[in-house]
């Protein structure tokens, strides 16, 4: 019997229910994945006990020799994975990685361009309800109505008009490759810094299946738990470190020479305290996995599955933002299907298919209702599903959406899904 079961039956029961939910339903949330058991072992291990404020070799606490080894190895592996000269593995999340990068490169009130949240951007790219929109003067760019891809004429025009200090590219619901090179050209026109948030496609970037931001961007942030398949967390990288051009001082150590030093000190002590050493070590395990050839085969399958999914939706007369996908996600516009994103999410959930409602570009509905759903293939690919299963999944989605009040149908599909899932177990011995 497990320690948790003996010690706390209430939470053990809740954990069992979550394990059962993950094993017996289809996870199509594009930002979720299932880590390996090795990653979970490290994330659930004794390093959770250690305080280690500071950086390897320069901590505020004793007893850090082994967590130092873990953090150094995670940094080295991450640098190798993305060809980055500078890496920081301490951000607790993608939002904190973005906060540290923005606070390093900008002063409050500075002008920034970011992709509108409802066009596929992210909260930390200037949403008025987020610190980013409150601290900085964010101007949103958009995707084009015709193509669903970033409207570079608009980006160039906004850059010339507003002279931003920084441009952010990337987002959380953009199904196409992020166009780093085109953004760089515009950033250079106006002397802006370029930041990429590759949280969504980072696993594809690591495998070389998505272009790399490193040659084009001054700073790159990501999470570690989406296509990268690690534990929940954030990272910051620079392809090349460079001289501190702003005369900025680090929060603790004073005047510094390099932007890397500013980034390090902005993460800690600037915005975070004690690092989560168990998670940093687990990130190291995940980076080690991503460096293996099997990871490239896995990410290739994620994209193949997403393309099959897009094709199946198109055959059933669904509208897809940008007409398809280059990546792991498909953004389905339900406007012609007489159902909101909210109801689709709810009904699909009842049938055992987990998705999230999502605004589509030019959506007239609120973020709580929306006209779309975002679906992704990382998690189902991790459990070994391929073309046949994806084709069946789209059929089920269509049956639910076409008859969104038929509870009997949901129950039947839920059982069929449970049967299919039992042939693709996620974890053994859990």
Positions in 96-135 near ligand DSN (CB under 6 A):
122
CB of 172 to ligand DSN, least distance (A): 3
Q: Angle CA(314)–CA(318)–CA(322) in degrees, nearest 5?
A: 75
Active site residue 53: yes
C-alpha–C-alpha distance, residues 65 and 56, integer Å: 8
Restricted to residues 296-325, the positions that interact with ligand DSN (CB under 6 A) are none
* Least distance in angstroms from the C-beta of 226 to ligand DSN: 7
Given 54, 94, 133, 275, the residue binding ligand DSN (CB under 6 A):
94
Q: Among the options 149, 232, 350, 412, which is catalytic?
A: 232
Note whether 172 binds ligand DSN by CB under 6 A. yes
- What is the Cα–Cα distance from 167 to 156, expressed in whole angstroms? 11
Least distance CB 31 / ligand DSN (angstroms): 3
- Kindly name the residue from 51, 154, 185, 418 that is annotated as catalytic: 51
DSSP character for 235?
A: E
Give every CB contact of residue 289 below 8 A, 6+ residues apart in sequence.
36, 38, 39, 229, 295
Q: Is 1 exposed, middle or buried (0-12, 13-18, 19+ CB in 10 A)?
A: exposed
- Smallest distance, ligand DSN to C-beta of residue 41, A: 25
Contacts with ligand DSN by CB under 6 A: the residue count is: 4
Residue (25 or 404) nearer to ligand DSN, CB: 25
* Binding status of residue 233 toward ligand DSN by CB under 6 A: no
Residue placing its CB nearer to ligand DSN in the complex, 87 or 172: 172
Binding flag, residue 284, ligand DSN (CB under 6 A):
no
Of 16, 23, 32, 53, catalytic: 53
Identify the active-site residue in 22, 116, 151, 197: 197
CB 110 within 8 A of CB 352: no
Please state the φ and ψ torsions of residue 111, each to the nearest 5 degrees.
-90, 135
**Structural contact between residues 370 and 341, judged by C-beta atoms closer than 8 angstroms:** yes
The nearer residue to ligand DSN, 25 or 31, going by C-beta atoms, is: 31
Confirm whether 296 is a catalytic residue. Answer: no
Pair type for strands 166-169 and 111-115: parallel
Q: Which residues contact 307 (CB under 8 A, 6 or more apart)?
A: 324, 325
- Judged by beta carbon, residue 260 or residue 354, the one nearer ligand DSN is 354
Q: Is 51 a catalytic residue?
A: yes
Q: Residue 234: which H helix or E strand, with range?
A: strand 234-238
CB of 61 to ligand DSN, least distance (A): 31
Cα 413 from Cα 330, distance rounded (Å)? 22
Q: Are 35 and 229 in contact (CB under 8 A)?
A: yes
Q: Which of 223, 325, 354, 381 is catalytic?
A: 223
Restricted to residues 19-58, the positions that interact with ligand DSN (CB under 6 A) are 31
Residues tagged active-site: 51, 53, 197, 223, 226, 232
Q: Which residues bind ligand DSN (CB under 6 A)?
A: 31, 94, 122, 172
């Amino acid at each position: 019997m497990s320690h948790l079961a003996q010690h706390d039956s209430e939470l053990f029961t809740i954990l069992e229910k979550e394990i059962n939910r993950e094993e017996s339903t289809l996870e199509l949330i594009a930002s979720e994945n299932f880590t390996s058991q090795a990653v979970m072992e490290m994330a659930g291990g004794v390093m959770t006990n250690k305080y280690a404020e500071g950086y390897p070799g320069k901590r505020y606490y004793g007893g850090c020799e082994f967590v130092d080894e873990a953090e150094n190895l995670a940094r080295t592996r991450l640098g190798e994975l993305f060809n980055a000269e500078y890496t920081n593995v301490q951000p607790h999340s993608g939002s904190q990685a973005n906060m540290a990068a923005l606070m390093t490169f900008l002063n409050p009130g500075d002008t920034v361009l970011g992709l509108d949240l409802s066009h596929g951007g992210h909260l930390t790219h200037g949403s008025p309800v987020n610190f980013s929109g409150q601290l900085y003067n964010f101007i949103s760019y958009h995707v084009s109505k015709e193509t669903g891809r970033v409207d570079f004429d608009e980006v160039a025009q906004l850059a010339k008009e507003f002279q931003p200090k920084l441009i952010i590219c990337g987002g959380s619901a953009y199904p196409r490759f992020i166009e780093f090179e085109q953004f760089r050209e515009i950033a250079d026109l106006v002397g802006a810094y370029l930041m990429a948030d590759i949280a969504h496609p980072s696993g594809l970037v690591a495998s070389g299946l998505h272009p790399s931001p490193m040659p084009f961007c001054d700073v790159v942030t990501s999470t570690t738990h989406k296509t990268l398949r690690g534990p929940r967390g954030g990272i910051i990288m620079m392809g090349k470190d460079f001289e501190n051009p702003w005369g900025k001082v680090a929060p603790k150590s004073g005047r510094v020479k390099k932007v890397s030093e500013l980034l390090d000190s902005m993460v800690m002590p600037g915005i975070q305290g004690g690092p989560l050493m168990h998670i940093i070590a687990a990130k190291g395990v995940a980076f080690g996995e991503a460096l293996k050839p099997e990871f490239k085969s896995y990410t290739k399958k994620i994209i193949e599955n997403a393309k099959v999914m897009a094709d199946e939706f198109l055959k059933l007369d669904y509208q897809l933002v940008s007409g398809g996908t280059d990546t792991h996600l498909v953004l389905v516009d339900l406007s012609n299907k007489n159902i909101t994103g909210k109801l689709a999410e709810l009904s699909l959930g009842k049938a055992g298919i987990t998705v999230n409602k999502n605004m589509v570009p030019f959506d007239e509905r609120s973020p709580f209702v929306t006209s779309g759903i975002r679906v992704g293939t990382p998690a189902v690919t991790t459990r070994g599903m391929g073309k046949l299963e994806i084709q069946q999944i789209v059929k089920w989605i269509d049956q639910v959406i076409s008859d969104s009040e038929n509870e009997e149908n949901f129950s039947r599909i839920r059982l069929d899904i449970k049967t299919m899932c039992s042939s693709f177990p996620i974890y053994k011995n859990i």
